[in-house]
C-alpha cells in the first residue's frame, strides 16, 4: 500500500486508549493495515481513475483516494474474518490476528474495521460509491459461502467450473471488477459494461496464479504459508484437475487427509500430496488456463480503453494487470 494511502487509512482509526483494554483494541485495528500488503486493488482503482481523466491533486483525485482507502479497509476486515474461517496460521508473514489474540477479539476487530470502511466511503462522497461497495460485499460473501460449504461438507465431487464460479464471486469482483468501476465513478463517468467480463476473466487468472504460488512460491515474497491451501482443504483448479487422473492410492490418501480437520492432518502425507501435485501436469494446466483468461480480459480492457482520456494511464494499467496475472508473489 502506498504510504499516503496507509496514512489515510490509519487517520480513520483510533490510536490512543484511555484504558489498557482500549489500547489493545486500537492496536489490533491498526495491525493488519500496518503489515502492508501489496495494495493491488487500491492501485487498480486509482489507475482506473487516471484512465478516465482524473488528475492528481484534484478534488476528484481526493475522492478516489478515499475510495481506495475504503477498499483497503475492506480487504483488511475481510482477511481477519477469512483467516478465522480458514483456520489460517499466517498473514503477511506474521501470525494471523486470531492466533495472536483469540477468535472472539479478532472477529470484533474485523467488525470494527468494516464500520471504518463505510466511514471512508462516506468521506469520498462519490455518487454510486456505496452501491458498488454493497455489490462487492454481496459477491464476495457469496463466493466465500461456496468455498466454506465445500470445506465444511468435505466435498470433492466438484468440477473446474464449480471452482471458477467460486473464484469469480469471491475474488474477481473485489479484485478487478469493482476497482475498475469505482475509478470510473470517481471521474464522474458511467462504468463500462465490459468491466464485468474483463474483470471476471482477469480475477480468475489472478486467483489461479495465487493457487500456484501457494504450492511453489517463495514464502518470503508470498507472505502466506506455502502449502497452506492443502492444510486448509482448499478447492483449486490444480487439485480438481489432478483428482481426475490421480493414481488410486494417491487419490485415496488425499481424500483421507481432506476428511480431517487441520490439526489432525498428517504433515508427512500432506508433504507427499504437495509433491505429487508439483510433479503432475496439473500446475501447468492451471497456468495455461490462467494465461488464456488473462489474455481474454486484457483484450476486452484494451478495447474498452481505446478512447479513454488518458492513454498513457491506460497503457500503464494494462501492463500492471498483465504483471498481476503472472506475478511471482
Write out pLDDT tens, residues 138-153.
999 999 999 999 989 9
Nearest to 111 by CA among 142, 160, 165, 74: 74
Task: Give the model's pLDDT for residue 324.
Answer: 81
Round to whole Å and give the CA distance between 233 and 158: 13
Say whether pLDDT at 329 is over 60: no
Q: At 91, which helix (H) or strand (E)?
A: strand 90-91
Q: Which residues contact 153 (CB under 8 A, 6 or more apart)?
A: none
Contact 12, 119 (CB under 8 A): yes
pTM: 0.92
Round to whole Å and give the CA distance between 43 and 47: 6
User: Quick one: pLDDT band at residue 222, thresholds 50, 70, 90?
Assistant: low
Round to whole Å and give the CA distance between 63 and 187: 9
Task: Give the model's pLDDT for residue 224.
Answer: 65
Q: At 94, which helix (H) or strand (E)?
A: strand 94-95
Amino acid at each position: 500500500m502506498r504510504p499516503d494511502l496507509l496514512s489515510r487509512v490509519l487517520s480513520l482509526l483510533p490510536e490512543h486508549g484511555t484504558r489498557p483494554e482500549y489500547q489493545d483494541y486500537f492496536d489490533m485495528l491498526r495491525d493488519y493495515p500496518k503489515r502492508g500488503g501489496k495494495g493491488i486493488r487500491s492501485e487498480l482503482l486509482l489507475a482506473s481513475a487516471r484512465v478516465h481523466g482524473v488528475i492528481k491533486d484534484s478534488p476528484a483525485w481526493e475522492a478516489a483516494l478515499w475510495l481506495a482507502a475504503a477498499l483497503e479497509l475492506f480487504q483488511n476486515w475481510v482477511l481477519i474474518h477469512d483467516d478465522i474461517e480458514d483456520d489460517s496460521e499466517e498473514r503477511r508473514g506474521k501470525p494471523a490476528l486470531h492466533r495472536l489474540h483469540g477468535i472472539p477479539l479478532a472477529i470484533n476487530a474485523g467488525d470494527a474495521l468494516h464500520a471504518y470502511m463505510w466511514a471512508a466511503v462516506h468521506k469520498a462522497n462519490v455518487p454510486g460509491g456505496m452501491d458498488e461497495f454493497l455489490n462487492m460485499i454481496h459477491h464476495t460473501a457469496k463466493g466465500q459461502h461456496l468455498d466454506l460449504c465445500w470445506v465444511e461438507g468435505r466435498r470433492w465431487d466438484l468440477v473446474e467450473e464449480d471452482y471458477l464460479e467460486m473464484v469469480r464471486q469471491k475474488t474477481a469482483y473485489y479484485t478487478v471488477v469493482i476497482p475498475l468501476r469505482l475509478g470510473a465513478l470517481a471521474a464522474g463517468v458511467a462504468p463500462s459494461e465490459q468491466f464485468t467480463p474483463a474483470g471476471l476473466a482477469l480475477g480468475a487468472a489472478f486467483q489461479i496464479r495465487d493457487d500456484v504460488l501457494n504450492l511453489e512460491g517463495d514464502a518470503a515474497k508470498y507472505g502466506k504459508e506455502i502449502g497452506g491451501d492443502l492444510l486448509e482443504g482448499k478447492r483449486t483448479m490444480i487439485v480438481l484437475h489432478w483428482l481426475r487422473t490421480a493414481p488410486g492410492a494417491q487419490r485415496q490418501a488425499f481424500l483421507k487427509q481432506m476428511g480431517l480437520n487441520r490439526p489432525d492432518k498428517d504433515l508427512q502425507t500432506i508433504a507427499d500430496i504437495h509433491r505429487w501435485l508439483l510433479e503432475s501436469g496439473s500446475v501447468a494446466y492451471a497456468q495455461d488456463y490462467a494465461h488464456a483468461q488473462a489474455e481474454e480480459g486484457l483484450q476486452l480492457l484494451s478495447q474498452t480503453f481505446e478512447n479513454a482520456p488518458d492513454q498513457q494511464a491506460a497503457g500503464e494499467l494494462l501492463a500492471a494487470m498483465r504483471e498481476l496475472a503472472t506475478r511471482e508473489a
